[in-house]
Structure 1
Amino acid sequence: MAAPILPAAEAASDEETATAEAGFSQPGAAPYGNFPSYSRFHPPELRLRLLPPALLRRLFPPGGPDPRPLLALDVGCNSGELSIALYRHFLSLEEGGICPVSSRDLRFLCCDIDPVLVDRAEKDCPFPATMSFVTLDIMDPQTREPLLSSFLNQFGRSTFDIVFCMSITMWIHLNHGDNGLLAFLARLASLCRYLLVEPQPWKCYRAAARRLRKLGCHNFDHFRSLTIRGDMADRIIQILTNDHGMELVCCFGSTSWDRSLLLFRANQSSEPTPSL
């Protein structure tokens, strides 16, 4: 288990301060977390420090019987900086490095609810052959299921090898309530062999609601009625393990903004748990 980058006393301030420092005149005007310069105040490298570059090689050792590409889904990719950084990190690519072609290629499907951010990600992506960015409301099954199925069918697959859910759970929860969060986690658990989740702590919920009120907007419809609250990392661990049979493989520590990186595995696999 990796140690936190910084002690809590040195951790970055909450998103309200951070977004203001990043130059947003109305930081609360992003009700789905679709901040236009998110990576400026939560840099990808501060997450990557916690994740072993060889993680995917340990989870999916080369030389196995399945030569098909590894498939990854990144939910809530924003403008793609973290998605691209994860891709480089796990393939050990330096800045400007060329994407390797091998029997175990890594293919990313990255989605976000904000078409402007997705358009920027598409334009800036250095790996268009292996990374796809699409506009998608992940909570809308009528658009979600055909899109995900279309991608998976290209590779003769029904699930992803790994799904990334980085600081998305709070926005699903605030906008869709307890039932929405439960449905979201259930669908993710059914979609993959491994799931890497970075839940926002409860203090971020309060900060998001406060920002919205400062703008004179109505509060999030579900905020005051949420019963899933408190230690959100622990609550999400309980939901995924108790309700969906997933196994918590590893906690890679916490980012400098106090968010845990949690890796889960679907228990239907008969493979031994990898040593991380």
Structure 2
Amino acid sequence: MAAPRREQGAEEAPGGLEPGAAPYGNFPNYSRFHPPEGRLCLLPPALLWRLFPAGPSPLLGLDVGCNSGELSVALYRHFLGLQENEAGSDQPVVGKDLNLLCCDIDAALIERAERCSPFPGSISYATLDVMDPGAREFLSSYLSRFSRSTFDIGFCMSVTMWIHLNHGDDGLVEFLTYLSSLCKYLLIEPQPWKCYRAAARRLRKLGRNDFDHFHSLAINGDIAERTTQILTEDGAMELVCCFGSTSWNRSLLLFKSNRLTQKQH
């Protein structure tokens, strides 16, 4: 499914439904329950400078599963050193410019993100299911506008569980393999296994059928470790850093494409 992000703790789902009725994780008001500050406090503000000391310009970023955009905007401000009161100022910090493309499976959430965005010149939004070939064509077309084949950095925050539950083990591997081919760096926050159980429990509580793949998932247990194995086992990426865990017990993992390492050498 693609760009869904967001899950437990949400009070409502689209149309005012119960949380379990949003099986792709597309909960409104998610940031009230897991606010951006819970991630930002773990991330160095100068990270983009450290990763890309000499460019390119602009840097291209991709946020998969942006929900209604609060975390996307917070990441943009954090990495460019912008203060909250600078909303409306779309000027990049000297020496760094970031074009951030944010996508989500939910058109209503994307519409809200666009309406509320303080940086319309630098942050753009698209309704996409990145498991769909058409969405991948869109992303390739977007990159071609900048004469690029990859994004400089990708963000995938609390999305992997929804891909996994809706597409199974093969779908998760395909999704992560695709992201590893699409991004030079990837910052990912996988949900732990207990969140899978909670999501399935919410569906059952509403009298709905279980996720199609939940009971057949062989990739389980320590999901952060399994995610790392998938991203690194074929040599596509290497783990650069674990920035620790949020207060809701999710690891923030930064990966680097080995193609970038080879190019630097």
Q: Which moved more, 1:99-108 or 1:245-254?
A: 99-108
Match of 2:85 in 1: 96
In structure 1, what is the equivalent of residue 249 of structure 2?
A: 258
TM-score by length of structure 1 reads 0.87
Q: Number of aligned residue pairs: give it.
A: 253
Query: Cα distance 1:210–1:43, how it changes in 2: closer, same or farther (>3 A)?
Result: same
What residue number does 1:82 align with? 71
How far did residue 67 of structure 1 move?
A: 4.5
The match for 1:243 among 225, 234, 246 is 234
Residues 47/92 of structure 1: CA separation in 2 closer, same or farther (3 Å cut): same
Summarize deviations over 1:100-141 as a string: whole Å, max 9, x none: 245631000000000000000000001001111110011101
1:84-108 alpha-carbon deviations (Å, 9 max, x no partner): 0000001111113123245631000
Q: What letter is aligned with 1:44?
A: P
2:193 aligned to 191, 202, 206, which one?
Answer: 202
| Distance in 1 between residues matched to 2:17 and 2:141, nearest whole Å | 39
Preserved contact between residue 246 and residue 266 of structure 1 (Cα < 8 Å): yes
For structure 1, the 5+ residue unaligned runs are 1-14
Aligned CA distance change for structure 1 residues 271 and 244 (closer, same or farther; 3 Å): closer
The equivalent residue for 1:45 is 37
Q: 1:169 aligns with which of 155, 160, 168?
A: 160
More deviation, 50-59/144-153 = 144-153
SS at match of 2:37: helix
Per the alignment, residue 116 of structure 1 pairs with 108
**Residue in structure 2 matching 1:29, options 8, 21, 40:** 21
Shift of 1:268: 1.3
RMSD over aligned Cα, in angstroms? 1.9
Any conservation in 2 of the 1:69–1:103 contact (CA below 8 Å)? no
Taking structure 1 as reference, are residues 159 and 272 closer, same or farther at Cα in structure 2, changes over 3 Å only? closer
CA distance in 1, matches of 2:252, 2:261: 24
Q: What TM-score does the superposition give when structure 2 sets the normalisation length?
A: 0.91
In the alignment, structure 2 segments of 5+ residues that lack a partner are: 1-6
Deviations, residues 50-109 of structure 1 (Å, cap 9, x unaligned): 000000110001xx2x55300000000000000000000011111131232456310000
Does structure 1 retain, via aligned residues, the 8 Å contact 2:181–2:236? no
Q: CA deviation at 1:21?
A: 9.3
Cα distance in 1 between the residues matched to 2:32 and 2:217: 30
Residue of structure 1 equivalent to 2:261: 270
Return the letter of the residue paired with 1:56. L
Matched, 1:233 2:249: no
Which of the pair has the greater relative contact order for Cα pairs under 8 Å at 6+ separation? 1
* Residue 190 (structure 1) aligned with residue 184 (structure 2): no
Identity %, equivalent residues: 67
Q: In the aligned structure 2, how far is the partner of 1:244 from the partner of 1:32?
A: 30
- Amino acid corresponding to residue 59 of structure 2 in structure 1: L
